[in-house]
Amino acid sequence: MTVSFPAYLDACCLVPINLTDVLLRLAETQTYRPLWSERVLNEVERNLPRVSSMTPERARRRVRVMRTQFRDALVTDYESLVPSMTNEQKDRHVLAAAVRGGAAVLVTANTKDFPYEATAPYDIGVVTPDEFLLDQLDLHPEQTLRCLKELVADRRRPPEDLFSFLPKLSKTVPDFCAAVHRRVGE
């Protein structure tokens, strides 16, 4: 399978551990190509210890693994585009990197910071993580469900199954979890 769908992942999608695990595990199946910038990775590394029980060292290790596993995800040389972006000022670096990386879609929980008028000239859609994962489930149902099942099977501390994992994941992507639940039943 050729990865032809580049998706820029905002930092807010890469901080919640369960959501990040699903997004990255799905990227490993090559249903999409993740994109991010060094600035986004730094934000992830800085925020993980603040919002979770993760130590700064574990956060550094997690981001280092992301860099290693997805070497072609890093978008560089976007800084010159930042001044021409018209979205929310604090997030202009995100849109600039998405543009430079050739993203088809920008995945963020902060959709209001990326109005249509700011993204339309670059033909970049803006979707929530919930919408993105629902699209993945519709477009690649077997890979998406297999990815989820493998992810929970790999969890050892504590061991989980899909139906104990979905309520945790539903805190960030409730519609996706409901759709998965409907597809696999109980």
In sequence order, what DSSP letters do the residues of 70-125 get, joined into one string?
A: TGGGEE-S-GGGGGG--S-GGGHHHHHHHHHHT-SEEE-S-GGGS-HHHHGGGT-E
CA atoms of 128 and 134, how far apart (whole Å): 10
**pLDDT at residue 4 greater than cutoff 80:** no
Q: What is the mean pLDDT of residues 8-30?
A: 96
What pLDDT is recorded for position 186? 55
**pLDDT at residue 26 greater than cutoff 90:** yes
CA atoms of 109 and 3, how far apart (whole Å): 24
Task: Report whether 119 contacts 87 (CB < 8 A).
Answer: yes
Q: What is the pLDDT of residues 48-81, one digit of tens each?
A: 999 888 999 999 999 999 999 999 999 999 999 9
Listed residue (133, 104, 121) closest to 16, CA to CA: 133
What pLDDT is recorded for position 155? 82
How much is the pTM? 0.94
**pLDDT at residue 35 greater than cutoff 80:** yes
- 6-15+26-127, CATH topology level: Rossmann fold (3.40.50)
CA atoms of 59 and 70, how far apart (whole Å): 17
What pLDDT is recorded for position 67? 96
Domain boundaries of the chain, sorted by first residue = 6-15+26-127, 134-181
CA gyration radius, the chain:
16
What pLDDT is recorded for position 156? 74
When the pLDDT of each residue in the chain is averaged and rounded to a whole number, the result is: 94
Q: What is the mean pLDDT of residues 135-163?
A: 89
What pLDDT is recorded for position 21? 95
**pLDDT at residue 2 greater than cutoff 60:** no
